[in-house]
Homo-oligomer: A and B are copies of this chain.
């Protein structure tokens, strides 16, 4: 146990992952030592037009860079490791992860040219790592990617446990059980604060075992008379293993399609997390020469993503795989909220091509969640018996539901903290309180730009997307302010011009007469001219069309 300084306090807060699903990043600080847990990304909300990905604002960490002892990674999902290439550019600290997690991270860092500069420390369940005055130990969990762990941070104030993402799978595909005994041991020693995964806090009961999916897959593979196409998350190595197993036992070969799927299959096989018999994997060209009932296509696109392999197949625009009548397509995933329509469209297109489509909406058993349901969340709470409880990894209603579960198993209501990003829970001498906020928020990434798109740019994109833009160009004489050329009106995204010539002609006249009136009134500041053109044209267009396009007046002088 490390030394305790009476003035030091324990601070716990999230820079991402609370009040949202995604960009997980949690901070445990005691005195001059900061440990960061995970560094994820989030996909943009529908009002973040044109944005590619979102990462947490890490100002607090860069301002306290001398205190940051490292980033501990719980597992290799994008919402836990995807922010690393951006974060490590500004914060060169060691990262700690299990073998598969580091394998996936290294691939990312290579692409970002950060591999050489980043200290990477391999951990396993039995590691004990020193992070300044703090000590981290680990416990294995079950999740939809192998090598997932929870973390226990020993601090002078007491132990803080972060579960990572977890479920309790009593028949795990890889035989790696969640380490109940280690968790019980940690609980026995005493847990000051527990941070636990709230994703499925709204779901009653127990999440089924991943193994159930394997049984369903094998049955489908056996009965299918033609090819079977399976789309799932590339990172779900357990699921992929079960596809391999089902293919093996039904005498089928597998062709792997989609960049991230090829990538994960290769890393996971290399590191020994995926066991693929020799000769099982074949090239698409070979697959196309074989009988349909001898092959499986394993691909990306389970979320209906527009550019993914399955979506291209559904649109008959994939270079190597054509869906044929009689093929069976399994979408082994649940649509992430917001993707329902894309997935629905993909299913429709596959049905139109004559495929038999099996998807999770049809109670087909081809998918189970990687996150524990209410009974599992209570089991974790009862194993850890924390004094303080902070529900994480979820939107507010999930955190709230998780808090109710914690109360139900005996955590004192006043010891439960549902926090927002940046909001500090401070613990000193066994007492906890909310203690203000650190800087926290979204950093938007658009192309190569990190944080150069803010509210004004997004507001303009929103305006442009709704009703388009009109550019009004007019040249005035330097001598007398008279119109030398124009006004010319160019519109984009407003109205189909050929059908609306009359409208634009009239708009033209309105701009001319507005300018002439202003000149006769001797108004000649450009700002006033521009505002008047905007106002009069805007009013006219709204009356005529009930639309409010962006109006951009450009006035030149010669």
Contact = CB atoms under 8 A, between A and B. Distances in A.
Interface of A: 19, 45-46, 49-50, 202, 204, 337-338, 340-341, 344, 347-349, 351-352, 357, 361-363, 395-397, 400, 446-449, 452-454, 456-458, 460-469, 471, 473, 475, 484-486, 488, 490, 492-496, 499-500, 544-547, 550, 552, 554, 556-558
B462 A465 contact: yes
Contacts of A446: 467, 545, 547
Say how many copies of this protein the assembly contains. Answer: 2
Contacts of A50: 465-468, 493, 547
Contacts of A552: 471, 490, 492
A460 B49 contact: no
B447 A546 contact: yes
Nearest to A420: B352
A49 B492 CA distance: 13
Given A397-B357, A473-B556, A461 B341 contact: no
A344 B45 CA distance: 13
Contacts of A546: 447-448
Given A337-B340, A494-B457, A558 B363 contact: no
B351 A400 contact: yes
A204 B341 CA distance: 21
A463 B49 CA distance: 10
Nearest to A474: B556
A521 B355 CA distance: 58
Nearest to A20: B348
A86 to B, nearest CB: 14
A422 to B, nearest CB: 16
Contacts of A396: 348-349, 351-352
A149 to B, nearest CB: 29
A475 B344 contact: no
Contacts of A484: 558
Contacts of A397: 344, 347-348, 351, 357
Nearest to A546: B447
29 contacts: A49-B493, A50-B466, A50-B467, A50-B493, A337-B340, A337-B341, A338-B340, A344-B397, A349-B396, A351-B396, A446-B467, A447-B467, A447-B545, A449-B495, A452-B495, A452-B496, A452-B499, A457-B496, A458-B493, A460-B492, A461-B466, A461-B468, A463-B493, A464-B464, A464-B468, A475-B558, A485-B556, A490-B554, A492-B550
Which of A49, A486, A490, A500 has the largest number of chain B CB atoms within 10 A? Answer: A49
Chain A interface helix/strand/loop/mixed? mixed
B495 A457 contact: yes
Closest 4 pairs (CB-CB, A-B)? A447-B546, A465-B465, A464-B464, A460-B493
Contact of A471 (B337, B554, B556): B554
Contacts of A500: 452
Contacts of A338: 340-341
Contacts of A454: 496
A343 to B, nearest CB: 10
Contact of A493 (B357, B464, B467, B545): B464
Contacts of A468: 50, 457, 460-461, 464
Which of A340, A361, A486, A492 has the largest number of chain B CB atoms within 10 A? Answer: A492
Nearest to A339: B340
Contact of A485 (B456, B471, B558): B558
Contact of A464 (B204, B344, B349, B465): B465
A432 to B, nearest CB: 21
A95 B128 CA distance: 78
A276 B484 CA distance: 69
Nearest to A449: B545
A552 B488 CA distance: 13
